[in-house]
A and B are shown apart, each in its own frame.
Chain A
């Protein structure tokens, strides 16, 4: 198992190098960061001065290597636009995304697996039809549109955005995870408020993974339920539910777990639209804002963090695989 993990970690290194190079190269296509920094109204001479001061006139490879040198020391540089340290920005924005993605995934996994099992127990029933219809709608509905609907429907009952009310003063400066920090600080009121703020964006973000997980659970359960050992267990007179949950689900979980793991990676990286509708100060919104401002140092830092998380989550899923089905890690 250890060599398996080490092998996967070793593979992650070239992957991340590849990502960093790709992002760096893309950032240099189209647009002029020096012009973006100088501002629309600045004369050409100022733009040239800034290009020189920021080292943007050096060969791209030199810029890339000097950037990597910084990252190796934990220095992501300072944002062109705000002059803030990017590492400080990431410490603030990344936990916000993790909080939202985790809430959405928990919701999606719990409801999705339950719905999938329910549908698989009686294929063709009304419950099955309802689950399948819902999951089809869930996969197809644009998050942006759903977000707006949720906002209108729950206006006045649930907060419509941000991690806290505008008037609440609280800094999540211990772990960056707002609910946890509020509890650690003994601020139950803030934790409650943060939880309320999490509900609508988490629901909006959960729809697609929920639908995917429900469909997959159904398919996987149907396959397992028709296998010989399940038939044997049923023949021995075990109740349907006990067979489904104790025997079939455990085996059906392997492909579901893969889906959940991959969904988590996608949620961490792809919460941009939800973050925009609900003004969630996560890393997706940060990337979009930095692309908008041609702030490519900020963009690189954020994408590197997202890519690293994606890779780590996948390694974690592989690890869990091995645990659920020991044949995999030996193979």
Chain B
């Protein structure tokens, strides 16, 4: 009771003080990273949302990892690897002495148990793992076996050039089998890995707290503690960075760039990204089953104008269905020039003047298109100038409604986009445009034997130079067939307090905070 009375007195005096936003003793080594939404789960095999991935990346390691500034892979939990049997058998040698945060050993048996849980529905560790959104990338793994304590052998159903990069992705993170067995369906709230930070606590919709793993095999992190805070509103997040309440923010909207540029206490980071937004033309729906009509659409769009008006001049345009930051990008492909007269002539010649078409535009921003409504408005205007009568359709994005309508082929033209999963051209050209991706991600419903053959061959081909050639050809074929009109490639944007050191943006958008610290 006395405590309560004392507390009331303290509260009564509270109005006099300054806010508690200043750094308190003991908090000097803490970095606060603010994002727009909370993580959903921290079980690497069960997630796909960026907010979960960004936290998981700090807690876990993979066998191989992406280099700091590229999509090439380097050793991580595996120190070396060899391929045999025409790329169907891979043997990884594990780093010795690595322990999970719960003290158990990260050995070959643990690695094999992780992949067994991921790919085998009857695995004893499977309890509570119902969704594995990224397992399609690993379907070619037939079995994973431990060979002694420090070697792991992967057997593939067929050789696949993206196998190694897929192992560097978050779903292939290695969890402590003891922790997964202990927590079962709650494992996503109690993640245990080998990474630079250990999980401490989770206050839902508020923050996730991690602490440094001083025994990390790659050297101890520069900061002692890491807090992933949730601040839903973009403008509020910027405001609180400027007030010094948080140190790093992501999801900076184009409209906030100027205020951050003008603030010497903050630093804006803009680095090329690996995403693109595009118009998918439904190639199965007449008249868009004719290449010349699709080419007319491409010529009707003034891309530089679109970039300026609807993307606030941030990003770049280009002719290809993958961003120039991805190897294999064919810079010799010429974009269709903006030619409204020719576009109109082609539309008129095809007897389409005044034709009503359904233009699908998602109602809410995505990372690759921050202002879809403006993109829709500009595109609509240009298509009208070319003689068509577009009607904008915006079913809700949530619950997969928007994409479900595209998968059902209801659109004539649809605004969509893609962010790379693994930094490989295959993840754009095969995943989005191979005929086997109908009715999934192939929203253009593009079917071309020639194109299919090229990307299939590239997927099996182990040599980088040959793969590059095949992808360059595939982009030429796409340019000719024009199933899509690529609109913009956007950079990754983040902002930090000016005293944050050691934080860089990875082209794939990976958030790595091991070397981030606050300058004293």
Contacts and interface: CB of A to CB of B under 8 A. Distances in A.
B131 A166 contact: no
Contact of A159 (B205, B231, B245, B439): B245
Contact of A39 (B7, B131, B185, B227): B131
A279 B7 contact: no
A194 to B, nearest CB: 9
B117 interface: no
Contacts of B4: 183-184
Contact of A188 (B10, B227, B407): B10
Most chain B CB within a 10 A radius of its CB, from A35, A39, A46: A39
A167 B244 CA distance: 13
B399 A35 contact: yes
How many residues of A sit at the interface, in one of the four size bands?
Answer: 35 or more
Given A31-B398, A39-B48, A42-B133, 9 more contacts: A36-B398, A42-B131, A50-B131, A148-B235, A152-B239, A156-B243, A166-B32, A183-B8, A281-B203
Interface string B25-42: 001001010000110110
B204 A32 contact: no
B204 A44 contact: no
A154 to B, nearest CB: 8
A192 B48 contact: no
Interface in A66-118: 78, 81-84, 89, 92-93
A43 B20 CA distance: 49
27 contacts: A30-B399, A30-B401, A35-B399, A36-B400, A42-B133, A44-B439, A53-B130, A78-B185, A82-B189, A82-B204, A83-B185, A84-B189, A155-B242, A156-B244, A159-B21, A165-B20, A166-B32, A167-B30, A183-B4, A188-B10, A196-B17, A276-B232, A277-B236, A279-B205, A281-B204, A281-B206, A285-B232
Interface residues of B, number: 66
Contact of B400 (A31, A167, A279, A291): A31
A102 to B, nearest CB: 14
Nearest to A292: B398
B251 to A, nearest CB: 14
A195 interface: yes
Interface string A288-302: 010111100000000
A218 interface: no
Contacts of A33: 399
A41 interface: yes
Given A84-B204, A184-B3, A191-B7, A276 B233 contact: yes
A40 interface: yes
Given A183-B7, A196-B20, A292-B398, A41 B233 contact: no
Given A83-B188, A156-B243, A32 B133 contact: no
A168 B209 CA distance: 11
A37 interface: yes
A32 B14 contact: no
Contacts of A293: 40, 398-399
A31 B396 contact: yes
Contacts of B236: 148, 151, 160-161, 277, 279
Nearest to A79: B40
A315 interface: no
A192 B14 contact: yes
A169 to B, nearest CB: 7
Contacts of B185: 78, 83
Interface string B198-219: 0001011111010000000000
Contacts of B227: 166-167
Contacts of A54: 130
A274 B243 CA distance: 20
A157 interface: yes
A196 B19 contact: yes
A196 B24 contact: no
A42 B399 CA distance: 13
Contacts of A36: 398-400
B41 A286 contact: no
Interface string A136-173: 00000000000010011001111111110111110100
A127 interface: no
Contact of A82 (B40, B233, B399, B439): B40
Contacts of A152: 239
A163 B20 CA distance: 12
Contact of B20 (A46, A93, A184, A193): A193
Nearest to B18: A157
B404 interface: yes
A32 B401 contact: yes
A204 B205 CA distance: 20
Interface string A27-64: 00011110111111111101000100110000000000
A83 B19 contact: no
A183 B396 contact: no
Contacts of A281: 203-206
Contacts of A195: 11, 14
A291 B398 contact: yes
A93 B206 CA distance: 11
A197 to B, nearest CB: 8
A161 B237 CA distance: 10
Contacts of A53: 130
Interface string B393-407: 000101111011001
A40 B235 contact: no
A191 B10 CA distance: 8
Interface string A175-214: 0000100111010110111011000000000000000000
A272 B152 CA distance: 51
